[in-house]
A and B are shown apart, each in its own frame.
Chain A
Amino acid sequence: MEERIVIVGAGQAGGELAAGLRKQGYQGRVLLLGDEAHPPYQRPPLSKGFLLGKVALKDLYLKPLETYERFGIEFKPGTRVEAIDRSTREISLRDGSRLAYDKLVLATGGRARPLSLPGLEGARLENLFSIRSLADVEAMRGGFLPGNHLVIIGGGYVGLEVAAVAVQSGLRVTLLEAAPRLLSRVTGPEVSSFIERIHRERGVEFRLSCEVRGLELDEARRQVRGVSLACHGVPERLEADLVLVGIGLIPNTELASAAGLAVQNGIVVDEYACTADPAILAIGDCANQPSAYTGGRIRLESVPNAIEHARVAAATLMGKREPSAAIPWFWSDQYGLKLQMVGLSTGYEQCVTRGSVEHKEFSAFYLKDRRVIAADVIGRPAEFMAAKRLVSSRAEVDATRLGDVAVPLTSIAA
């Protein structure tokens, strides 16, 4: 019988893998199962151009439906996988049917971390949102009306991108962040304060070092009316027309753990995307993989990672062994300003900036042992690839030259 690869999760990674197998000439059956109503689509524009109304729905789709058909990829939307039976190599679907696999790839992504506050258990609030899917954005859009007050809980990328779109759409925005600065887990203080400034200039209000104490609900318990909080111990109450929670992601690992596979902040895989079961792989946001870059294990939430991890898995499934050597990178877009980040800055010793913070065109390089371990490139896209090279080569650099815009970055990288 013809070999079957079944991919669970029709997102960025799953879609890329299905296409990658065909690109490499895979001859067996490829089944791509997703619980959403859409073919694989881009999530980044959900909190940027799509929310702003500048990117159309059909332009979110990574490929038109027709492409899957044409290349023999059996794409099944609205299909939720409920369990894996490793002994018979079958999965069971929500409708009770079972499906056999020769190789199974988990590309289940993650879900938004819910706000955990006493009194919210089981509540389905109509104006409390998070953004992970197209359906989430469509639900939230109704409340995106000029004059409405949006309270955002969480100062990470999603929260900040939505804040930018919201003030541009005429909403009043207050963003609450538990840490003393924005993006504190992913960037240095220089970039945090720059980001805070560009948002403040546009009218976004912030409450940093803020503890959310509770949500005030209407009598029917269907609407949030206000948010109570405390900044440095000083209590405050904010009225809210809608609330967005952007406090991170929980990887969808339940299928794997119920099947007895190791899960530790993601489904544990080796450098070839394989779990301990040789018939099961895991890729993308849901997978925890060894990283040549850090020397340890990481779980990354980014499109470049999903694409690279899908490439590694395609190679593995084709009987080749090509470990990932990619350097993590990520981008964001706020008020049309391009931010590109490469590497992970954790543990840096020195931050060197290049360019003009004032003119919103600068790069911040994070150094450890005189080597660039990460960089944030803001409004200077021409420097991004050079920064990427500096991070990947781990070459020693001269901090003074690095900070001097008169010295071309490519010559430092050389």
Chain B
Amino acid sequence: MTKIKFIEADGKEHEVEAQEGQSVMQTALNNLVPGIVGECGGFASCATCHGYVDEGWQSKLPPPDAAEEGMIACAFHVKPNSRLTCQIKVTPALDGMVVRLPVSQTSE
């Protein structure tokens, strides 16, 4: 069982069970985690599923592709560890991963 912890910008934590093969965004949606919007449905077209992957986990993920990088470049509240959660697939190696969420997905 793979667990992922989402931490909202105000510190509220949501530890949820993730299904292998699904995206981290879908995991958040399935568990009604506030702070992940996912307007485009997971096609790297909107940057409203943006999250910060905690140090230590970043190296376990495949690097972002061009589409993801493009969207992150212009997302709101970007940090060096920003990722689009729709582009991260859940694998057992991600058990325990922590994803922090930005103050807002849609404005500054």
Contacts and interface: CB of A to CB of B under 8 A. Distances in A.
Interface in A92-151: none
B29 A62 contact: yes
Given A304-B46, A338-B45, A23 B34 contact: yes
Given A63-B30, A410-B74, A333 B39 contact: no
A315 to B, nearest CB: 13
B90 interface: no
B30 A331 contact: no
Given A19-B32, A71-B32, A303-B41, A384 B74 contact: yes
Interface residues of B, number: 24
B73 interface: yes
A194 B102 CA distance: 37
A42 B37 contact: no
A381 B67 CA distance: 7
A410 B31 CA distance: 35
Given A23-B32, A67-B31, A385 B37 contact: no
Contacts of B47: 385
A304 B32 contact: no
B71 A385 contact: yes
Contacts of B32: 19, 22-23, 67, 71
A340 B106 CA distance: 16
B51 to A, nearest CB: 16
Contacts of A384: 45, 71, 74
Interface in B24-62: 29-34, 37, 39-41, 43-47
B29 A331 contact: no
Contacts of B73: 382, 385
A42 B74 contact: no
For the complex of A and B, the 7 pairs showing the least CB-CB separation, nearest first, are A385-B74, A382-B70, A381-B70, A23-B34, A42-B41, A304-B39, A382-B73
23 contacts: A19-B29, A19-B32, A62-B29, A64-B30, A67-B31, A67-B32, A303-B39, A304-B46, A307-B37, A307-B39, A331-B45, A333-B43, A381-B44, A381-B67, A382-B70, A382-B73, A383-B74, A384-B45, A384-B71, A385-B47, A385-B71, A385-B74, A386-B74
